[in-house]
Structure 1
Amino acid sequence: MTSTVTPPTNVDQKFRAAMSAFPSGVTMMTTAGPDGEPRGFAASSFCSVSLDPPLVLVCLAKTAQCHDAFIDNDQWSIQVAGAVHVDLVTRFATKGVDKFAGGEFVPDHRGVPVLVDAAVLIECEAHQRYDGGDHTILVAKVLDIDVDDRPALLYFQREFRHLDHFPMQGAF
């Protein structure tokens, strides 16, 4: 009996390709650093967790420059990016740049920077933090939400997209 040894596949590349086939919204999560300066990052890894209590989660790379700020500060804000925010989201996803340049951010009543023209603004606070491999899973309790009529930005197949608002016939 002969056995065939199959060479290992590059799971990392396949994983990235598989995740890029899943369309998602784009968020920017913000907080204030210990010096009071705004900190933030872009994330497509955002989802609802619970309705009672209202919980959402976002995954933050442990290598992100703002990682410690989200560990040290329990007051956060999540902005769902609008279709007009491609440049801003790109900046939020880039290391070593002023992430808050080019967007109109103001501090909320807690001192957390919020984007005034976000499609959705979620005021939240830390509920739990979990180890998630090379990421920290941030679970947040929702305190308040402001929903605008602006079309949201999507990320699909490694490109930004937007919906044309044409629902599929017969869907649900």
Structure 2
Amino acid sequence: MDNSTNVSRFKEVMGNYPTGVTVVTTVDEQGVPLGLTVNSFASVSLDPLLILWSIDKRVSTYQTFINTEKFAVHVLSADQGDLCSLFASKDTDRFGNCEWKLSEQNLPIIAGASGVMQCKTFKTIEAGDHTILIGEVTAIESENKEPLLYHKRKFGKIPDEFYI
């Protein structure tokens, strides 16, 4: 099987795997807030509290994110599909189009998320065309809202009939 067939099948399989949606934020060296939509997010460890996410090496903010000492991961709530699209778009004033504030740790925190984890960078790992960032959670906020999901290139929520 040629590589293009493998890539196509890989995208098909991964696209059929529902995930949550996050927005990861930080500030650059000048204090300008930066953020991007990420669905490659997972928990790693309870002791210490560690999470991971990955960033494409072609993203314009790549160097800032892999060199930052801290970042915040926002688990988006079901009603934040607009933020998901906003932070996935290019050449848009992302923070000018949403409600946010700086935390005590000087991280941009977006209002309305289901949960927010502020992290210090624990480790980065090169992985193909992405870099994996592992963060140690230093602060957690939880609103315990229904999460935004991503499945087959669409965003939505868990249907009511899903619950038993």
| TM-score in terms of structure 2 length | 0.93
Q: What is aligned with 2:139?
A: 144
Match of 2:62 among 60, 64, 67: 67
Q: What is aligned with 2:157?
A: 162
- 1:19-30 correspondence to structure 2 within 5 Å: 19-30=14-25
Moved over 3 A (4+): 6-9, 165-169
Deviates more, 1:141-150 or 1:8-17: 8-17
Q: Greater share of helix residues, 1 or 2? A: 2
Gaps of 5+ in 2: none
Secondary structure of the 1:70 match is helix
Q: Percent identity?
A: 30
Q: How many residues align?
A: 164
Measure, in 2, the Cα distance between the counterparts of 1:9 and 1:77. 35
- Equivalent position amino acid for 1:105 in 2: W
| TM-score in terms of structure 1 length | 0.89
1:37–1:168 Cα change, 3 Å: same
Residue-by-residue CA offset, 1:100-124 (whole Å, 9 max, x unaligned): 2332110111211011211111011
Measure, in 1, the Cα distance between the counterparts of 2:30 and 2:148. 31
Match of 2:120 among 87, 109, 125: 125
Q: What is aligned with 1:3?
A: none
Alignment of 1:58 with 2:53, yes or no, is: yes
Q: What is aligned with 2:99?
A: 104
Measure, in 2, the Cα distance between the counterparts of 1:33 and 1:145. 22
Gaps of 5+ in 1: 1-5
Structure 1 residue 45 displacement after superposition: 0.4
Measure, in 2, the Cα distance between the counterparts of 1:93 and 1:143. 26
Match of 1:82 among 66, 77, 82: 77
Q: Kindly name which structure, 1 or 2, has the bigger radius of gyration based on alpha carbons.
A: 1
